[in-house]
Structure 1
Amino acid sequence: MNWFNIATIKTAISMTIALLVCFSVEIAWANSQAPKDTPSSNMLIHIEKSTADTVEKWEVTYTLTTPAKTLAFVRNPDTSRTTRWLAQDSDIEIVFDDAKHQEVVRSKSGKSFSAVSFALTPTYKHLGKDYAPFSPFSDGGNAFHSGRLFACANTCTEEDNKWQLTLNIPSDEHIVLNGKVTKNSVSWTDNNNGRVVYVGKQEPIITNDVVALIDPGLPESIKVSLEEDIPNMMAFFSHSLNPLKGEKPMLLASYANIDDHSRQGGTLPNQIFMHWNRQDLNEQADNSSFVNQTLWFFAHEVAHLYQPGNTEGVSENKEQSWLHEGNADYFAAIAMNFLYEDANSYVESRITRAFESCTEGLAQTTLAQAYKNGHFNLYYSCGMIMHRAIDSVVQQKTLGEESLFTVWKRLQKAVNSGMPPGTATFLTLLEPYNAPELIKAINNATSDDALKAIQGIETLYQFPE
């Protein structure tokens, strides 16, 4: 498909890559701490990393301005804090509240408390549709997700969206926070989904456009791919959508060579991070299927980086996750087809498998209920088919002058100007293309009627390329 002028974008990409790949290993030591706002939360979160006899210890302490009976955590994808967090006071425990579906801190004796401390387990833990608490690097460094630590006294309200954090580390290591490198200690105000913070000895690769921490233990082919393919993809999306604004984006890629076969990637504002937890990465690195899967993995996460701000700026709620997850998957397909000629057959096979997976899944649950029924993968597969159809129709209606990128840029502009995120706003942007059959099929695909949903996806899959 003719998405855009090929010569123009290749020129733009080559110019951008020239900047991105001129890596430097100089560390820009930051003399100032991150900006501080007044937090709405009535507590201070203090994280301490210490090392004794080569054994690292991570500890978090919550200090409250007013004593409380319980602490409630903001993010509760599972019950793993109950086993991974060790209370430093025998009277304190973490339990899972079944009624509220969240983990809470409480005193066994029922007393109120003003401060509680926990020793953390600084290893990778897969959390369903959430970010891993820790992502260890093979050289001893570690990255942690600050949002995992967010908590409130007694209960959290909508007003509780800022937390004051302080981090202390050993003198022979450094912190990379918001692209800045700091020694010893740093304090910052955090909000929303939090961010990933690096602690360790590895020197970040700093360019005019990105701050990268790439695990030295990764196979050479993957390190080269991270240093070359990620910049290629960033240049592609920067040209096709809108360039990133504000601070330099951070890229964190970590690797734990352990007996496992998992990986996880994610994005937060101005951050891309990925972690491999497997012992056969060296063997897999030269396998063509694994290489294509890895490139898709990269492209999907980079696409998220160029979506408007974060997923909350796209989808109104989880049941609309087809918007950002499906879009990122189809943008990954477009990027791979454009950047890697030999990946075309792989991309086609991914699209075919997505259609098959989507129709099979919709026979068991609707998109509206998929996240509740353990079928979150449908937002990727069904969403990709939906965005593929939208791209096809928009190009057909405009004789190739516009594409899905055009629609997405308008979505960014609409949300930034105050329009509500979600399906309703997105569908209004399709109305000027005079494609009622497309909108009807999307409405069917997202309906609560299983038969209608499957028919909608089948119709969308059949739209001409």
Structure 2
Amino acid sequence: MKITLRNVITPALTFFILLFTNCLASAGTASPINTIIEKAQTDNGATWAVSYTLDTPSERLVFVRNPDSSRVTRWLPINSDIEIVYNIAEQKEVVRSKTGKLISNVSFSLTPTYKHLGKDYAPFSPFSDGGNAFHSGRLFACANACTEEDNKWRLTLNVPSDEHIVLNGKVVKSSVSWSDNNDGRVVYVGKQQPIITDDVVALIDPGLPKSIKASLEEDIPNMMAFFSHSLNPLKGEKPMLFASYANVDDHSTQGGTLPNQIFMHWNRQDLNEQASNSNFVNQTLWFFAHEVAHFYQPGSTEGVSENEEQSWLHEGSADYFAAIAMNFLYEDTNSYVESRMTRAFESCTEGLAQTTLAHAYKNGQFNLYYSCGMIMHRAIDSVVQQKTFGEETLFTVWKRLQKAVHSGMPPGTATFLTLLEPYNAPELIKAINNATSDDAIKAIQGIETLYQLPE
């Protein structure tokens, strides 16, 4: 999940490196395509390439993730007979032979720079010292067509001898092969050693302003401690944090989460100036808190919502969780949090006049799941606290949602609303149903009711 800087003590930092080739495997049927990513150093600088070798030749390759058509210009075929075209009917980028030959092996030169992808993860996140992180899911491809059964990918990564790879918290030299699945993961290539603490494995760009680096080292552990107490502690291996920075002529900031990973990238030339601006600092804190909150929701996006149209559940709750965390951890941000709430209501009602939540995703207004969802969760929190005289909160409901989904209940609005029934709040449930309905007038009325409920 992605979006477009104070009292836990950070333990002593530890560095480690494993000087051997690591091979990770996942259960399941292997992909019929072997994917090789390679970074090389030339006289003209670093180059990145990806090659696909098919077990059985096919007419074409298609990609699992197609948020736009940017591969057409950013991926350059090494063979002159190969091209990438955008199939408008399928809304997919397709690799094919210009002369109609079957494809058995294709290679592309990649553009290893940041590229904003609407509601998807950037393909590359450059670090200011020459390192780079990439999203493996961007490389997932299928022969002819992708089906629901296509969810295992064989990848190999080769890097120069003076650099290393950080994959799943481990540092590897030269080369690594692994089996990937679902949405993929972020992988680092470069010379920077990860920082290992009791809370997280972190790669923090050395070029970031000192205030932001200090915030990454202190605020994120604080937020993790807050959500661990408020929801449920994380289980398994330590999460990873990637924070990268490219000082370029841009004003883009992007963050996201993948299983066991948080990543953030600043693609802007004014970061040093902005780092001393209080509004920017508060925006950054919110940015951190939202992404950390996603870690403590039940599993992946699919573990929360049945489909994109229900994204108000995970995005709206993450925004409201961010508001709660900031109010609790940083008292001087209260006015900022309140202004965010006001703007969320205004943005939500303005957006609902153009499209409903049921169609916001298809109509390019995904931001409504954040703004409207935050208003909805604010109302739920208020009603739950009123009905239980402060004994229970929104966190109580979400812990029950985690338990319900874990025990086999389907994710989504229906299960979530059943958890609200014991509070005897029919007006709340009716307003939520109206807000998420396909009727624009009802939707706006529902949000207006929810915004007033806390009062």
Q: With structure 2 as the length reference, what TM-score do the two structures score? A: 0.97
Identify the residue that residue 9 of structure 1 maps to in structure 2.
Answer: none
Report the CA distance between 1:28 and its aligned residue.
Answer: 3.6
Identify the residue that residue 312 of structure 1 maps to in structure 2.
Answer: 302
Identify the residue that residue 132 of structure 2 maps to in structure 1.
Answer: 142
Q: 1:64 and 2:54 equivalent? A: yes
For residues 181 and 397 of structure 1, do their structure 2 counterparts lie closer, same or farther at Cα, with a shift above 3 Å needed?
same
Identify the residue that residue 445 of structure 2 maps to in structure 1.
Answer: 455
Identify the residue that residue 332 of structure 1 maps to in structure 2.
Answer: 322
Report the CA distance between 1:25 and its aligned residue.
Answer: 4.1
Identify the residue that residue 201 of structure 1 maps to in structure 2.
Answer: 191
Identify the residue that residue 24 of structure 1 maps to in structure 2.
Answer: 13
Select 2:434's aligned residue among 423, 435, 444: 444
Whole-angstrom CA distance in 2 between matches of 1:198 and 1:418 = 35
Report the CA distance between 1:232 and its aligned residue.
Answer: 0.4
Identify the residue that residue 352 of structure 1 maps to in structure 2.
Answer: 342
Task: Summarize the alignment of residues 49-198 of structure 1 with structure 2, pairs less than 5 Å apart.
Answer: 49-53=39-43, 55-198=45-188
Alignment RMSD: 1.2
Identify the residue that residue 3 of structure 1 maps to in structure 2.
Answer: none
Question: In 1, are the aligned partners of 2:223 and 2:289 still within 8 Å (CA)?
Answer: yes
Report the CA distance between 1:40 and its aligned residue.
Answer: 3.9
Whole-angstrom CA distance in 1 between matches of 2:410 and 2:109 = 41
For residues 112 and 205 of structure 1, do their structure 2 counterparts lie closer, same or farther at Cα, with a shift above 3 Å needed?
same
Local SS of the residue matching 2:287: helix
Whole-angstrom CA distance in 2 between matches of 1:241 and 1:253 = 25
Could you list the per-position Cα deviations for residues 88-130 of structure 1 after superposition, in whole angstroms to 9, with x for gaps in the alignment?
A: 1000000011111110100000110111000100000000000
Total equivalences in the alignment: 449
Could you list the per-position Cα deviations for residues 241-297 of structure 1 after superposition, in whole angstroms to 9, with x for gaps in the alignment?
A: 111111110000000000000110000000000000100000000100000000000
Whole-angstrom CA distance in 1 between matches of 2:454 and 2:94 = 52
For residues 251 and 128 of structure 1, do their structure 2 counterparts lie closer, same or farther at Cα, with a shift above 3 Å needed?
same
Report the CA distance between 1:308 and its aligned residue.
Answer: 1.2
Question: In 2, are the aligned partners of 1:82 and 1:96 still within 8 Å (CA)?
Answer: yes
Range that drifts further, 203-212 or 142-151: 203-212
Q: Which amino acid aligns with 1:26?
A: F
Local SS of the residue matching 1:267: strand
Question: In 2, are the aligned partners of 1:40 and 1:159 still within 8 Å (CA)?
Answer: no
Whole-angstrom CA distance in 2 between matches of 1:147 and 1:464 = 41
Whole-angstrom CA distance in 2 between matches of 1:173 and 1:238 = 35
Report the CA distance between 1:41 and its aligned residue.
Answer: 2.0
Select 2:363's aligned residue among 362, 365, 373: 373
Could you list the per-position Cα deviations for residues 403-446 of structure 1 after superposition, in whole angstroms to 9, with x for gaps in the alignment?
A: 11011111111111111111111111111111111000000000
Report the CA distance between 1:36 and its aligned residue.
Answer: 4.4
Report the CA distance between 1:464 and its aligned residue.
Answer: 2.0
Select 1:363's aligned residue among 353, 356, 361: 353
Question: In 1, are the aligned partners of 2:15 and 2:193 still within 8 Å (CA)?
Answer: yes
Identify the residue that residue 4 of structure 1 maps to in structure 2.
Answer: none
Whole-angstrom CA distance in 2 between matches of 1:355 and 1:30 = 53
Q: 1:274 and 2:243 equivalent? A: no
Whole-angstrom CA distance in 1 between matches of 2:40 and 2:17 = 24
Local SS of the residue matching 1:33: strand
Whole-angstrom CA distance in 2 between matches of 1:463 and 1:151 = 48
Identify the residue that residue 378 of structure 2 maps to in structure 1.
Answer: 388
Whole-angstrom CA distance in 1 between matches of 2:25 and 2:311 = 32
Task: Summarize the alignment of residues 192-231 of structure 1 with structure 2, pairs less than 5 Å apart.
Answer: 192-231=182-221
Identify the residue that residue 241 of structure 1 maps to in structure 2.
Answer: 231
**Residue ranges of structure 2 left out of the alignment (5+ in a row):** 1-5
Local SS of the residue matching 2:255: strand
Q: Percent identity?
A: 80
Whole-angstrom CA distance in 1 between matches of 2:376 and 2:53 = 48
Q: Which amino acid aligns with 1:29?
A: L
Q: 1:287 and 2:277 equivalent? A: yes
Whole-angstrom CA distance in 2 between matches of 1:353 and 1:279 = 27
Whole-angstrom CA distance in 1 between matches of 2:391 and 2:18 = 46
Q: Which amino acid aligns with 2:138?
A: R
Q: Which amino acid aligns with 1:27?
A: F
For residues 337 and 53 of structure 1, do their structure 2 counterparts lie closer, same or farther at Cα, with a shift above 3 Å needed?
same
Could you list the per-position Cα deviations for residues 135-187 of structure 1 after superposition, in whole angstroms to 9, with x for gaps in the alignment?
A: 00000000000000001000011110110111010111111101111111111
Whole-angstrom CA distance in 2 between matches of 1:40 and 1:387 = 41
Could you list the per-position Cα deviations for residues 58-90 of structure 1 after superposition, in whole angstroms to 9, with x for gaps in the alignment?
A: 111111000000001000000000000000100
